[in-house]
Structure 1
Amino acid sequence: MARDLQEFIKQVDKRGQLRRITVPVDPELEITEISNRMLKAGGPALLFENVKGASYPVAINLMGTLERVCWAMNMEHPEELETLGKKLGMLQQPKPPKKVSQAIEFGKLLLDVAKAKPGRDFFPPCQEVIEKGEDVDLNRLPLLRPYPEDAGKIITLGLVITKDVETGTPNVGVYRLQLQSKNTMTVHWLSVRGGARHLRKAAENGKKLEVAIALGVDPLIIMAAATPIPVDLSEWLFAGLYGGSGVKLANCKTVDLQVPADSEFVLEGTITPGEVLPDGPFGDHMGYYGGVEDSPLIRFQCVTHRKNPVYLTTFSGRPPKEEAILAIALNRIYTPILRQQVSEITDFFLPMEALSYKAAIISIKKAYPGHAKRSALAFWSALPQFTYTKFVIVVDESINIRDPREVVWAISSKVDPSRDVFILPETPFDSLDFASEKIGLGGRMGIDATTKIPPETDHEWGKPLESDPEMAKTVDQRWEEYGLADINLEEVNASLFGYDLH
């Protein structure tokens, strides 16, 4: 993997998808206001070259469209993401090949794994400049403050790297960090995340937890770190599988951790178990300000960076945001893995408007009574990231789950709420979800919007309306003859009902 952040920015620029802003801009509120408008418009990536109070340019909205996410993954089309998902699914639950073709395919996969192993860089670009001790001043970084009532400046796209103090197994996560002083930040992570588990283990062993924050890495590595699928592989190996070659790693200067050698910045520090400070409130992905929560304090003793670094960032909030676009791409990657876990699921979709995880629409090839309920229950337990999905809507495989008109029709025409809706009360839940009566506990709803079969119903189901196939074929053939060839029916249909199906 020879590419770094600045090389990816050049690629985006070459394809006409980058705007350089040279006038002075403020990292407090102004950059996010500009970026938010671009995200809503599906606009280009932005590079702010003149940020007030900072010496470094800011890149944002780099992965603000699915097209650019595919470029980050070295792909051209979203369909290729499902091919990657199939590869990861084979690694998760490998099965003995039954055919020569399957053996060849599995052999190629093992070769890919061998190529994906991380390498070592002894003269890393990320350590061209080294600052230690009193020279460490995080105020020099162009940290953003996205919303008016945010508690302070934050880091959002940093890779937070820790390791198990007993086994040495590393974890790479993407967590929000809040600036507390020139050399300290709090880190906000859920208790189930790898970094939190490592901190608990460090506390049990009476040790500090070493932490490294890699800023401005190749976006492909960010995608790998944001893929929480249950495969016994490191995030570095994931990134290598994503990119086709291993990530180059470098040893940190003051902590026993490894970071991507081509990072723009690296922050090195430690957490003393039990040392916390209030973190928040901040605008979050739910579309509200989160609460204030005591969070672990990181004390940084070293900052390294390139000679001319670029600061990569993003921000959370109600979709569309970059995190929602990333989730759409991950949805494609998960699809083959989910099919492998729950074989009756033919497709699934996490709408961006539902925060890309709060509601799921799944289609099944229905085979028996109660099949839809079983599929919903299996979905919730299939992968860890579906734990916080509130609503699961199950439809027949004939429904286009990405077309809201078809989904709403299925719900309206196939659901009797007294029979087809079931609720699981007080299950473990997202602490950021204010809709729950008890923080950390919430209900889940399953909706069976499939065609009912006995004994689910006592009466015969109506026959669906369909065009006469011969007449439809005739009209297709004569469409130009009617003088209607210039009309794109799909676009007219979508605009008529206010939907964008692309």
Structure 2
Amino acid sequence: MAGDFREFLQVLEKRGQLRRIKTLVDSDLEIAEISNRMLQCGGPGLLFENVKGAKYPVAVNIMGTVERICWAMNMEQPQELEDLGRKLAMLQQPKPPKKIAQAVEFGKVLFDVLKAKPSRDYFPPCQQIVVEGNDLDLNELPLIRPYAGDAGKIVTLGLVITKDCETGTPNVGVYRLQLQSKNTMTVQWLSVRGGARHLRKAAERGKKLEIAIALGVHPLVIMAAATPIPMDLSEWLFAGLYGGAGVKLAKCKTIDIEVPADSEFVLEGTITPGEEMVDGPFGDHMGYYNQSKSCPLIRFNCMTHRKDPIYLTTFSGRPPKEEAMMAIALNRIYTPILRQQVPEIVDFFLPMEALSYKAAIIAIDKAYPGQARRAALAFWSALPQFTYTKFVIVVDKDINIRDPRQVVWAISSKVDPQRDVFIIPDTPFDKLDFATPKVGLGSRMGIDATTKVYPETEAEWGQQLESDPAIAAMVDRRWAEYGLADINLDEVNANLFGYDMK
């Protein structure tokens, strides 16, 4: 592993990407307002050292840029995330190597898996202080309330850890929790998530579900928990693969659950099946307040923490937010996995402005008529996280899918709405999407913005305008000679239009 959360904060501070705030601030609304302004401008992570009524400092906006997420994963450039994706793709669908080089590469991946196995820490830092029974008061945690219409204080970046009561297989997810009392919280999770499945299994057997919340872990462990790809590997192994070494785990004090040994805080409790309380409303990633609903109630009986712990938090909302930055990084990791499942896909992009999952732009190496529609349909079924993608735009491989000017040009010049737009009605959908006519049931749209071939069209397609290759190469060579060496066109595009040109 690449160290613990505290060591990552030191990395950020050394690189000028952490700002310590010593002024007194309020965890109610004020911290979120300050952080939101930093997120809007790509500003540094923040460590609030003087929080009103709180014993502990609050860290926020730690993963507020893709660059910082790359640092957390021992990388410098987003392109390196695709190398990690290729490793995961090889593990997901291994193929017999045909060449010695392929065998060597697969052997390296298997060795990485062995190195990634978690280990046990019998004297974990997360249990330096133990608080149990009546002494436990969750109000001592500096939980934030991000929006004025929120029902209460929340936990956002905690690892929610449960275990299958039959097989013992753990699930690690990142779900929102609402503080209900000094020792209770409600947890908001979708019915398809691992924690919800574990609760249903416990209910069938008449058992309580043990649950632990690990707060203040290294960001790459959070990234691993947020990676919902269909592989029979635990999130702990994912974190080990991400970090290059196994995660150190510790057994909880009062329940049979393992947590990261270097967590800043750990909350231990149980859920009694059927015991629920009203949760919400809260601001969510769609940019609206969601509706209140009954959610499972967690009763905590123990809190452990490190000496002088730091509380890590974030909040949802209309992008840019930290969750959007995480999604951009995960997009890079998914790309090789998606290519393996749908070979004609050259690249794909989930724009942050489309909530990082509602719209996808995919580039294909088109070889036959109807291929764009086939690619869109294959995309929707390739990975579970693409189930709720509302729009899929398919373009040719020469279109830079991260440049909206090129994508809009392809749609405008290559699409006939009647021929190239298709809609699939009444499909399972995100219940947080207010645009759907029925809760949990909506439609999807595919747009074929590729160059049409016969028999898709009977018209002769015009020749696309392009620079003369020889002249373009000459201008590249003479760019400094023109006195324009100080002008980097990619940087100009990025700064002027905010486009990711890489």
TM interval, short-chain normalised: over 0.9
- Asked if 1:452 is matched to 2:462, the reply is no
Structure 2 counterpart of 1:133, one-letter code: G
**What is aligned with 2:393?**
393
Measured in 2, the distance between the counterparts of 1:225 and 1:495 equals 33
**What is aligned with 1:299?**
299
The gaps in structure 1 that reach 5 residues or longer are none
Alignment of 1:365-380 (within 5 A): 365-380=365-380
**What is aligned with 2:64?**
64
Q: Offset at 1:394? A: 0.2
1:116/1:346 CA distance change after superposition, 3 Å: same
Q: Offset at 1:16? A: 1.0
Measured in 1, the distance between the counterparts of 2:171 and 2:472 equals 56
- Asked if 1:463 is matched to 2:471, the reply is no
**What is aligned with 2:325?**
325
1:475/1:113 CA distance change after superposition, 3 Å: closer
Structure 1 counterpart of 2:370, one-letter code: G
Measured in 2, the distance between the counterparts of 1:14 and 1:493 equals 29
Measured in 2, the distance between the counterparts of 1:478 and 1:312 equals 51
Q: Offset at 1:74? A: 1.1
- Alpha-carbon RMSD across the aligned residues, in angstroms, is 1.1
Partner secondary structure for residue 325 of structure 1: helix
Q: Offset at 1:307? A: 1.2
Provide, for residues 130-168 of structure 1, a one-character-per-residue CA deviation record: whole Å limited to 9, x for no partner: 111111100000000000000000000000000111111
- Asked if 1:363 is matched to 2:363, the reply is yes
Measured in 2, the distance between the counterparts of 1:487 and 1:47 equals 36
Structure 1 window deviating more from structure 2 (204-213 vs 469-478): it is: 469-478
- Asked if 1:500 is matched to 2:499, the reply is yes
**What is aligned with 1:176?**
176
Partner secondary structure for residue 395 of structure 2: strand
Alignment of 1:157-168 (within 5 A): 157-168=157-168
**What is aligned with 2:112?**
112
Alignment of 1:212-227 (within 5 A): 212-227=212-227
Structure 1 counterpart of 2:316, one-letter code: S
Measured in 2, the distance between the counterparts of 1:473 and 1:333 equals 33
Partner secondary structure for residue 392 of structure 2: strand
Partner secondary structure for residue 459 of structure 1: coil
Measured in 2, the distance between the counterparts of 1:223 and 1:182 equals 29
Alignment of 1:93-492 (within 5 A): 93-492=93-492
Q: Offset at 1:126? A: 0.5
Q: Offset at 1:407? A: 0.2
Q: Offset at 1:495? A: 5.5
The gaps in structure 2 that reach 5 residues or longer are none
Structure 2 counterpart of 1:469, one-letter code: P
Structure 1 window deviating more from structure 2 (461-470 vs 81-90): it is: 461-470
Measured in 2, the distance between the counterparts of 1:34 and 1:479 equals 43
Measured in 2, the distance between the counterparts of 1:264 and 1:50 equals 18
Measured in 2, the distance between the counterparts of 1:222 and 1:477 equals 45
Q: Offset at 1:433? A: 0.3
Partner secondary structure for residue 191 of structure 1: coil
Provide, for residues 402-457 of structure 1, a one-character-per-residue CA deviation record: whole Å limited to 9, x for no partner: 00000000000000000000001110000000000111011000000000001100
**What is aligned with 1:81?**
81
Aligned residues of 2:270 and 2:299 also touching (Cα < 8 A): yes
Q: Offset at 1:472? A: 2.4
Provide, for residues 290-332 of structure 1, a one-character-per-residue CA deviation record: whole Å limited to 9, x for no partner: 0011100000000000111000000000000000000000000
What percentage of residue pairs aligned between the two structures are identical?
A: 78
Please report the TM-score for the alignment, with normalisation by the length of structure 2: 0.98
Measured in 1, the distance between the counterparts of 2:121 and 2:2 equals 12
Structure 2 counterpart of 1:477, one-letter code: R
Partner secondary structure for residue 146 of structure 1: coil
Measured in 2, the distance between the counterparts of 1:21 and 1:487 equals 37
Q: Offset at 1:2? A: 5.8
